[in-house]
Chain A
């Protein structure tokens, strides 16, 4: 019971507060932007046309009312919360009147699939390779891998993406240029293989940089860790290297890595914005990008809401699970 009161409850409260502050901030910030959804929509609807100015002004008035933006910000804020608590994210302004929840539901699986896979691959390979390279740092293969990583790591993400497109989509023409899959969604080989086919380049572009990042972090942590007394005692005691590596070193370097993993999984809801834009991959990041430029407040808020809840929850879980991963951390 004491545990609940001193440890779990405060963290739950913190979660609630973080979510509240985050949502309020995302309600306010887009409204500071000079771009507003009404003028964006009107600009799109009247492009290439010459319209009677008075009619235009009338249309603008009615659009503002239609979007509910004629009310004061406080009223809008209250409306937003009352709708949110009923599970309604409101309509998109950029694709009026399509519900935001619908737009997100269409886009989210793509991002989760892409980022989930890429994160899993890069985290596992980065952490393992980094730990190994850190532990066997005198071996030739470790040095070769490290050199490779160190040179690949600083390459700006966009360059990696462009080069992948250039080589695999333009020259070799092995992979497609845009989109997420072919055919009707279903649990069949044809669709799933097309998912891999379309997702390969975007995922690869993420994996390269992320693996390098994990590798460097893991190697640095391991290098520090193997300097610890217990490792030397273990070595002196002739404990097999593999065992030291696996049971002691790896375990102790896990904490920051797991923390980061949980946070980056939470960040899936934020979307791989740049990846999705560059590879024209359907997903939540692209939706957000467009929403920002259209002043589509409700979509921005819907996506950020997911991100806020996702990351806050991931972070809460980390806090609660800390002791499991690192027994040395005592509750305080």
Chain B
């Protein structure tokens, strides 16, 4: 495991760069614990509307917040929200999509009916309605859960489509004829194809949650009192910071959002290359022999042949 990571770090530029970004993000998150301000008492602490300078690295907001320290909380909270959403949404989506893709038959039909019924109901209006029904008692966690519960239907359809397509591949038939068990086929033959897709999908899941978080905040439906990327953008916009030239208020959360997703994306590309049967680096190959924790597909004979 460690070897794999070390090799990835050494030979995959995107993994290297991505991990560095994620490290920066992680440091920012950890720094939130050392913040001189309490999370619920960030406003009215410093002089308002100050541009970035030595004492306020990222400047201050129109509400008298230090942008830097607010940002550390915001990144942490947004990661919490999106992680909850992604785990729930992708969890349901992957399981439902793959199971119904493989099982087929009645199970598939019933699940598809449910999935369809969920898909047809427009999501954003539904979120707005739910926001109104909850009447401002929305917390960070309930927001994450809500986003997750609304974002599994599309992914599950995509996974099902992937599975349906993989099932008809020649190598699947070969494996079936050679007596491989279904589980083995799934793990050895199909996962290597699905995982890169899943990594990309998880990234877009993060993006979706961050986007929805920003959107709901913009519509005033999130808890605007707790710092997140979305609420920072909401307040920046509320005080017109783009238009009155206090761009630092907006730049910080936007750059943070980009860094987060970019970091995940690059790491996923690196991992994808590693997991990809064909594109595995030759160097990496040499190390798999002494890597006892290598993933199952490492032993796949097909890949040896391919390289």
A and B touch in the complex (CB under 8 A): yes
- Residue in chain A with minimal CB distance to B204: A213
Q: Is B120 an interface residue (CB 8 A)?
A: yes
Query: For window 141-192 of chain A, which residues contact chain B by CB distance below 8 Å?
Result: 150-151, 153-159, 162-163, 166, 170
Q: Which residues of B contact A162 (CB under 8 A)?
A: 237, 242
- Residue in chain B with minimal CB distance to A220: B200
A156 and B254 in contact, given A10-B109, A220-B272, A326-B165 (Cβ under 8 angstroms) = yes
Q: Which residues of A contact B196 (CB under 8 A)?
A: 220, 223-224
The count of residues in chain A whose C-beta lies closer than 8 Å to any C-beta of chain B is: 70
Q: Which residues of A contact B129 (CB under 8 A)?
A: 29-30, 32-33, 292
A328 and B204 in contact, given A10-B109, A18-B113, A307-B122 (Cβ under 8 angstroms) = no
Q: Is A315 an interface residue (CB 8 A)?
A: yes
Q: Is A52 an interface residue (CB 8 A)?
A: no
- Residue in chain A with minimal CB distance to B112: A14
Query: For window 141-155 of chain B, which residues contact chain A by CB distance below 8 Å?
Result: 154
Q: Is B164 an interface residue (CB 8 A)?
A: yes
Q: Is B158 an interface residue (CB 8 A)?
A: yes
Q: Which residues of A contact B113 (CB under 8 A)?
A: 14, 17-18
Q: Is the interface of B mostly helix, strand, loop or mixed?
A: helix
Q: Is A312 an interface residue (CB 8 A)?
A: yes
A328, B169: Cβ atoms under 8 Å? yes
Q: Is B80 an interface residue (CB 8 A)?
A: no
Q: Is B278 an interface residue (CB 8 A)?
A: yes
Q: Is A26 an interface residue (CB 8 A)?
A: yes
Q: Is A129 an interface residue (CB 8 A)?
A: no
A304 to B237, CA, bound (A): 30
A21 to B197, CA, bound (A): 32
Q: Which of A224, A232, A267 has the most C-beta atoms of chain B within 10 angstroms of its own C-beta?
A: A224
- Residue in chain B with minimal CB distance to A306: B122
Query: For window 316-332 of chain A, which residues contact chain B by CB distance below 8 Å?
Result: 322, 326, 328-330, 332
- Residue in chain A with minimal CB distance to B168: A328
A63 to B250, CA, bound (A): 46
- Residue in chain A with minimal CB distance to B110: A14
A30 to B257, CA, bound (A): 33
A155 to B123, CA, bound (A): 21
Q: Is B135 an interface residue (CB 8 A)?
A: yes
Q: Is A240 an interface residue (CB 8 A)?
A: no
Beta-carbon contacts of A217-232 to B below 8 Å, as 1s and 0s?
1001101101111101
Q: Which residues of B contact A273 (CB under 8 A)?
A: 124-125
A225 to chain B, nearest CB (A): 9
List the interface of chain B (C-beta within 8 A of A).
104-105, 109, 112-113, 116-117, 119-126, 128-129, 132-133, 135, 154, 157-158, 161-162, 164-165, 168-171, 193, 196-197, 199-200, 203-204, 207, 210-211, 214-215, 218, 229-230, 233, 237, 242-243, 250, 254, 257-258, 260-262, 265-266, 272, 276-279, 306
15 contacts between A and B (CB under 8 A): A18-B116, A25-B121, A32-B133, A154-B210, A156-B211, A156-B230, A156-B257, A227-B279, A256-B158, A256-B161, A270-B125, A274-B215, A288-B125, A312-B116, A322-B164
The 6 closest A-B pairs by CB, nearest first: A154-B261, A328-B168, A270-B122, A227-B278, A220-B200, A308-B120
